[in-house]
Every structure is written in C-alpha cells, then in structure tokens.
Chains A and B, each alone.
Chain A
C-alpha cells in the first residue's frame, strides 16, 4: 500500500476489505493528504514504513512495533516487493520517494510532493510522478489576485510544476517505461487534459491522470 491519506473506510473499500494481501504501507511524508489513516492502519496490524522524521512529525511512538523506520538510500524487502527509498524536496520533516520493485510490475518510480528530485533513475518500467501546477496558470491566477503571494511562494518550494515534471522525465532513461501516471494535480492551478497532452508530447508514453476512483490496468513490466 502506497500512502494512506484517505479515510480508512475508503481504503477498506479499495482493497475489498481484504487486509490479508497488504504487506505494509509506504508513507512518503506526514501531511494529512498522505498520512490521514496511518494510526488506524497500524492498529489494524499493517506495518508502516516511513522516515524517522515523518514518524516524529506524526508523533508515532518509537516503541510502536508497527513502525519501520527507513531512510533515504535504504533498500528493503516487504513481501514480494523490494523498495529503494530516496530523498525528495518538500516542506516537511523528512520526505521520501520510492522505487518499488515487484516481479509483476517491474520497477515503479514514485515521486510526489517534491518540487524537484536531485537523483536520476535507471531501469524504470512505470512512473508515478507529481505534476501539481503549471507556471502559466499560477502566474495568471496571481495576476488576477486569486492566488495570494504567500501561497504561491509555498507552492513553488514544495510542489512540482508541470514544467519541472517534464524536465525530470526527460532527464531519465525512459526507454523501458510503459506508463506514466500524473499525481497530485492541484484543484485550481492545473488542467488535467492539458497536462496529459503536454507529457505525452514530451515523452511519447501513455499518460494517465490519477483521480479518485481511477483504475489503472496493466501496470506491468510488459505492455500487455
């Protein structure tokens, strides 16, 4: 399970009430839209894998045996998954991104809530990456007074713009990439259709916009 920022009931419906297949939960950082249900999940017996900084920020007791602290550059195995954590850039304690390896899905790159990433990545088969806002939309909304400066300034230093997202994708070897999923689109500062087309134009890969209830088929190493 990747993040737990929705109500526990929605998680239950999402996994068809079957916790048997859940081997653990990877948590990138402490903000509510990612970590909301962490407490309940841990009580239900799901191991929470997150950074020491995030655990501290969430006030999770160090004695909690469901807490598995990880740090950037750690490699771990959870069930059939292998995880490589790396540092990302967000306005919180110790945010992480992940490369998730599974025999079925190959290597999945997961980056969210990061205004850029310092690493590059190799042998990636599927990508989940944040594209939060576009420069043009933000500037227009600032000029019209819909977006106060302090909020825009926070945005620039915490979330990834479409432009940075495309540059990040282009900086990496995409030859084996099957699918790109865009995450964390801002409600006001983005335009799903435009974002999708821009990323398709830049990468030539199938692009999906993650939204509530969107099911993504064939998230595999091979195209079919």
Chain B
C-alpha cells in the first residue's frame, strides 16, 4: 500500500465507523435504550471524533483506525456519546491500548458532566510555599470553609504545598476540596506517567489544580442518577500502552512462516534448501556444502560500510 492512497482509505474507514456508530445510537435512541443529554449533539461529536481519529497514530506510527478493532472504536465512541463528551473541547481523548481503543475522560469533561448535574462553577488554586492559608470545618455540616489564603507575590510560583477547589452548586451551596502535595502526588502515581510527564514537571500548579478539580467533581458525577455511566477508569493498570502494543505486535508477527533448520540427520554433506519461494522470511537458496572451516562466509565479502573490502585472510 502506498502512502498516497493510504489517507483517503483511512478517511473512508473512519466514515464507515462513524455511520455504523451513528446508526447504532439512533437505534438505541428509538427504543429509548439511551438518553442523550439535551445540549449535546451526538452526530457532531462523533464526526469530530472521526476527524481526530483519522489523524491519530499509535506508538508504532500506525493510524489507530487501522490498528484498533472496529468494535473497540465503536465502543469508545458510544462511551463518549452516553457521557455527552466532546473531543474537540478536549473533554475526552482516545487512547489505543494495542488493538483496543479506549476513551479517557479529561478533567474538562468532568467539569462538563458536573455542570449537567447542577454544578454552577468550579475554581481551583494552588497553595505555594510561603502562602498564608487556613481553613476550618463547619462542625454542623462537615463542609470545609477557607478562612484565608494570602499569597505574597514574591513566593508565588514557588514549591507547591497543595491545592484546593471550590465548587458552587446551582442551589448556592459551596463545597471545598483540599489536597496536600503528597495527596496530589499519590493521585499522580496512579497515572501512566506517575507525575513525571513534561506537563507535570513544567506546570505543576496547573496539574495540581486539575487533580483537585477532578476530585471535587467526582462526588457530583458519581452521586448522580447515572453514576454507572461515568464509572472511573480502573485504578490498577492492567496493561501499559506499550505492553499492549507489544503484545499485539507479537501475536501478529511471532512464530510465523515455514520452519527453518537443518534437515533430518547429521550427514555433513546434507543440503539445506529453501522449501517454498513465497516464504515470508527469505531463507538462503544457495545449497549448503561441507566446507573447510576457513572458507570465507558469503556475506563477509559485502562490506556494508561501502569501503573497499580488505583481505579477510591475509595469510
């Protein structure tokens, strides 16, 4: 397959999967099997996802639409639709694990969902070394309240001590979520990069805010009527993207082709020949002959460096 005709083919593939998924969703909707959020256009989101997927490649540089199974792509798209997420707004992203495409909800997605369930706004701040920060817990309601957070500009951006998020609901109640840096770090440790990605290193305050927002919105999302739709990603990692990729690669490439080896018996005169011409792995066609030990090896004459080959056996 040449590179030129690959692109339209992938686009075509994406289109079929989009149509497939849309039809499936329309069927489900017709039978009232799923309810799609009112302010959400499933068709728009799926078409946007198809565009994103058409450009996305896995770690081995294979387009995901080719590398992943149709079923897993459909499932990821469905999961996106039932949660009402939009990939263009970075509310979710698609991650290939070997030949399985999965959907991961991003924190913008968590905010979008929480807003559908009565959240008015969420604000997060990082607490830096040198900040004057204090909070109290209302003993009646158990809700935390921030008493003061004064941040001298000189130490703004220094080492992070923690972060907090304030969630305001439409009925006016406010919830505060506070996390210390060690707590944030353990949340990061559950992730693939364990907090060592360049984003975590270069923008730790923003990443800490994301983490605390995720925690603050989690309660709203998971206590909603449709909590089962939004189940969290499993905390224990079964496969890393690399190990899943490698497994797929091995299952596709390992132990294939006709067996190679010396023929039965041990007669040194025996001749080894290629069995079939269409073998995937070329096997030498030159017959093997019993040769004295010092016979030059055939490939030794082709100097790969392109330099003039010196005499291998000068004596």
Binding site for B on A (CB under 8 A): 23, 49, 52-53, 56, 62-63, 65, 68-71, 73-80, 82, 84, 86-87, 99, 101-103, 106-107, 109, 115-124, 135, 139, 142-143, 145, 148-149, 152-153, 156-157, 164, 167-168, 171-173, 221
Q: List 6 A-B contacts (CB under 8 A).
A: A73-B283, A107-B261, A118-B255, A119-B260, A122-B259, A168-B254
Answer whether A171 and B240 are a contact pair too, CB < 8 Å, given A75-B288, A77-B291: no
Known: A73-B281, A101-B262. 19 other contacts (CB 8 A): A52-B304, A62-B310, A73-B284, A75-B272, A76-B297, A77-B295, A106-B266, A116-B249, A118-B280, A119-B255, A119-B281, A120-B258, A120-B260, A122-B259, A143-B237, A145-B194, A152-B240, A172-B255, A221-B266
**B-chain residues with CB within 8 Å of residue A120 when the two chains form the complex:** 255-260
A75-B284, A120-B258, A149-B194 known; A62-B266 Cβ under 8 A? no
Q: Using A106-B266, A149-B240, A153-B242 as known contacts, say yes or no to A167 and B255 having CB atoms under 8 A apart.
A: yes
Quick check: B255 and A123 within 8 Å, CB to CB? no
* Contact bitstring B203-240, A, C-beta under 8 A = 1, else 0: 00000000000000000000000000000000011101
Report the count of interface residues on B (CB-CB < 8 A).
55
Contact A123 B266 (CB under 8 A): no
Tell me if B202 is interfacial: C-beta within 8 Å of chain A.
no
Closest residue of B by beta carbon distance from A120: B259
Give the nearest-CB partner of A109 in chain B: B261
Known pairs A63-B310, A69-B299; A173 contacts B259 (CB<8 A): yes
- Closest partner residue, chain A, to B262 (CB atom): A101
Contact B293 A157, beta carbon cutoff 8 Å = no
Contacts of A63 in B (CB 8 A): 310
Q: Check if B259 sits within 8 Å of A172, measured CB to CB.
A: yes
1/0 per residue, CB under 8 A from A, across B280-298: the answer is 1111100010111101111
B260 contacts A121, C-beta separation under 8 Å: yes
**Which chain A residues lie closer than 8 Å to B297 at the CB level?**
49, 68-70, 74, 76
Q: Which residues of A sit under 8 angstroms from B192, Cβ to Cβ?
A: 149
Chain A, residue nearest B287 (CB) = A75
- Describe B's contact surface by its main secondary structure: loop
A-B pairs with lowest CB-CB distance, top 5? A171-B255, A122-B259, A116-B254, A153-B242, A122-B261
A147 to B282, CA, bound (A): 39
Q: A82-B268, A157-B246 are in contact. Are A99 and B295 (CB under 8 A)?
A: no
Q: Report whether A157 and B242 are in contact in the complex, using a CB–CB cutoff of 8 Å.
A: yes
Q: How long is the Cα–Cα vector from A203 to B159 in the complex, in angstroms?
A: 57
Most A CB contacts (10 A, CB to CB) among B250, B263, B290, B305 go to B250
- Are A117 and B255 in contact, with the CB atoms below 8 A? yes
CA distance in complex: A84, B283 (Å): 10
- The distance from the CB of A5 to the nearest CB of chain B, in whole angstroms, is 22
Tell me if B153 is interfacial: C-beta within 8 Å of chain A.
Answer: no
Q: Is the CB of A119 within 8 A of B257?
A: yes
Q: Which of chain B's residues have a CB closer than 8 A to the CB of A107?
A: 261-262
Distance A143 CA – B212 CA, assembled complex (angstroms): 23
CB neighbours of B193 from chain A (8 A): 149
Does the CB pair A168–B255 fall under 8 Å?
yes
Of chain B, the residue at the smallest CB distance from A107 is B262
CB pair B189 A145 closer than 8 Å: yes
B147 CB-CB contact with A under 8 Å: no
Question: B254 near A117 (CB under 8 angstroms)?
Answer: yes
Nearest-neighbor residue (CB-CB) of B244 within chain A:
A156
* Residues of chain B contacted by A143 (CB below 8 angstroms): 236-237
Say how far B265's CB is from chain A's closest CB, in angstroms: 9
Contacts A71-B299, A152-B240, A156-B246: A82 and B288 contacting too (C-beta < 8 A)? yes
What's the minimum C-beta distance from B194 to chain A, rounded to whole angstroms?
7
**What is the bound-complex CA distance between A153 and B239, given in angstroms?**
11
Q: Is B39 an interface residue (CB 8 A)?
A: no
User: For residue B281, which residues in chain A have a CB less than 8 angstroms away from its CB?
Assistant: 73, 86-87, 118-119
A53 to B302, CA, bound (A): 13
A34 CB to nearest B CB, Å: 20
B7 nearest CB across to chain A (Å) = 28
| Residues of A with C-beta under 8 A to B288 | 75, 77, 82
Tell me if B32 is interfacial: C-beta within 8 Å of chain A.
no
CA distance A71 to B313 in the complex (A): 19
CA distance A157 to B305 in the complex (A): 28
Q: Is the CB of B305 within 8 A of A62?
A: yes
A213 to chain B, nearest CB (A): 30
Q: Residue A123 contacts which of B263, B283, B291 (CB distance < 8 angstroms)? A: B263
Query: Quick check: is B303 within 8 A (CB to CB) of the other chain?
Result: yes
Contact between B253 and A118, CB atoms less than 8 A apart? yes
Neighbouring A residues of B243 by C-beta, 8 Å: 135, 152-153, 156
Q: Cβ of A119: which chain B residues have Cβ within 8 Å of it?
A: 255-257, 259-260, 281
